[in-house]
Structure 1
């Protein structure tokens, strides 16, 4: 064959072009970025301002690009120096994965280990190590599977599987699992990249790659600059919140930890609020009001319903399904602008009973069956049932969960406590609680008493009244069950010999989210779908009315003490609502605060609401009068942001518990 024939053959059969390892990694991370952009667009209610949407996607894409370039660089080093030592390279990959896992994952996975350990202290470390190892080794295992699948037919199955992992990652690990999400996403990318490496490009793509080769260095330079900018330049507050919303974004939780909190200039405290911005530990007690609302020997029954958001009663849409609650709203004083002190039961009820907020209380680690984690067991602040008991009032509770008894500090001061052993959900349902309460109420004679019950029927997973329908529909059906339990209790009170001296107080520990702000259930935000709760007080000689004054469940301790004619400790952060029961309309001056997972919300009288997340370094500001759904954050405007932010910082600086070695903990 002549040289001319060789040339002709080479032209007829062009050299095959395959995907290199670094290119495969970069393409896999770009695929992850596109997948996440679709996830953000489809699953999140995007911010109303176009510029916020654009910046959200831009920063998110820059973060994925930064990960892709970093990984491509590491793979390039491996191709150059480590290919000849495959076993050593594999061992190094495993070691690095385990090292990063040990550094990042324990904080995420400790809570899961605690739950599964069920109070057995020796099980928790073993479970935690196992979980960390499994997540850490996900990347090496994905690389191995991808290489085994690197052949024509299996390759596309592996790539599709990796993309599926990237798509479901935000859904499966929603919430406080930033490190776990990073490892799962990395495993999905590793599977795609390992399967893609070595794939032969089709002729057209190979030709395009050949033409773009001279632009490779400029394109990488531009990409590197864009990625670096996304990492170094801090986004505006509204964009930070969007990036940290439930989606597949990976780096914002880690980048936010490197950013400093805003330090606003101090502002004057409004004069009417000044008494609440000083240390109140030694403040004088507040005497009860006059005249009393209830006859001698009061009987106060406090019912809290888990996960009952205010709009179930405020809207009137569900009155036919919830007739007992609707009738109670019409017969009592309905505080339609009430807020919980937290979006998780333990935060909310601890504040209700202690009259103080989470950051004012002392929370320590407790290991006990079904009650592991942080509890205010050693917190020394007074709970209002302790004061009632000391004053000769019988204090009675029937608990459906083990931590709603005196020992754990959420509640304290009950002279009679009955814990009903849990059912399949680790708590009892309303029927046995109401049965026990009815039996005890039948024994009441002339003594004053306080009874507390917390009904948990409407808690997720919403399967007590059937499993068909949407989450909201199932939740509503469970509330219908609760309505029946409340009806039995109210009927018994009306027939009782103490009916004339009884007051029924009905509220909820927090609301429930059904996709608003990208969240579901509760405990994950401080938006009003979780904070706005019903609050109703009904007594025979109290005229029904609707009160629009903003109130908080921290006001309930002073209110119940006032109903019994007892003084309220000056350290309590709430104010009695009894004047409203007399028909008065006072202007309450204490700030309204809510806390959960190092997030704090402050609601002011002018309907301004501030949400500060000290863990993720985010700030949100809403005008609830103009924007009750909290969709348009005003935090990008420093003129509007700084005054409420300064008030929040001063309030926290004044009242946060100071004790050597103690820092306000992050409680999941």
Structure 2
């Protein structure tokens, strides 16, 4: 029994080591996104990964014991005594992990290519398994003082090196050279931990144990050096009209897709927002894609301000609206499903709390483990299941959780991916679409795991180069998926409205529904966004509801960078003199009668070239 427990413990720790390797690859994959989310999200992902890999290691150990039990019927007692189980276990686990690691970096060309990849990877995995077994048996096991002691030393060394890498990601340069230095120094921390562990475990004196304990505590505390406490903002006073603000952003929602803007799509809840609130008929964004548009909206500055240096990055010298609100006593939170905003853009400055939801992956807590993510994707594809999560419901659930016990006054930013691709409406909305053709939902033209042989899910480049030909009915089907995905958002907007009313928050909460840009559907021979400045891409949604506003419509043209000065005037805080937008608060409260005509500028940079327009 004792030997069996040792075997299980050995595979559990070995699984933990492999989990650290996967975690380190994840740091390299998503280094900017991780830095944007901060220490606690990073450590939470590490702990969840360790739990998963330890569980897998334990399961592998149970299978190994079953194999050993069966081998008693085939192998003589003398041969079993000569068999070193730990070497075979470590070799087998390393080889299997190596196959999946190579698979996670392989290009997903086709099922046949995937099969050939694994045919090629399996011999490499067997070679890795043989090499690890030889290294363990000939050098490491005896050098480190036995199987159990040795695997403990290696496991602790791996965790210590992961903690150093976590600190580096959060605190130090993350350029290509920075990544290389991170890997080299993490390797040195691992080597130092192993040699110190061998020395201390070999001596087994109080001094040696204390020295190793101090080293371990220092390494485990290294990530705390990467912790950035919430920025302290000067208290500039209190707002004169401290209403709560809920900013709902419908990514890629063109105005004419909503009933309230004259569209034929059924959006009863958003239409109700418009009937009970104030609709701006002619609001225009300053850029045709998300990152420059959102930087402009929340800073009230034109996108060209963020063009220089690191493209579309805001430094601490830029004040975003949540930062200004914090200086006047607001609680600020964001729930975001667009990964562009969770990276290194700087747009999240001033948020007390942010929740980043990956719209591509289901395993939200394990997104920084590429081997796990890719393997899970392959499993779901084998079973014919969708990989895309219901991020719309996840954002709404987070919003309801916040509204259950809100700290007032508050600013809550809900950035929905609806109706941005992937157009992924629930089944009940798909049943409303009549279509007979080769396309299948979801429409996902930028699928990172796309198979070129899968023409039922065409990609952006394939469509632009004409590799996939779409008939009129196919284009209409894609447009209908977009509209259905928007109807799903409409359902969730209705739920939020009812939540506000049921909690009595609608009287002192201003709900703003807006979009950052629109979407083209072949009006100018293009589908998607980012490559033009036509009205289909810049004419956006802007509706105000609640907080005692009288219903009305505003026809004169406004810019989206006017939104922040308007909200500042509504809550009664001074405007930042650097803001380039102009408040239309008086027009909002007077139905547009006091709003003078103003031009709307737009810029499209680097997709594919610089563009400018004035309207």
**What TM-score do the two structures reach when normalised by structure 2?**
0.47
**Which structure's CA Rg is the greater one?**
1
Q: Which has the higher helix share?
A: 2
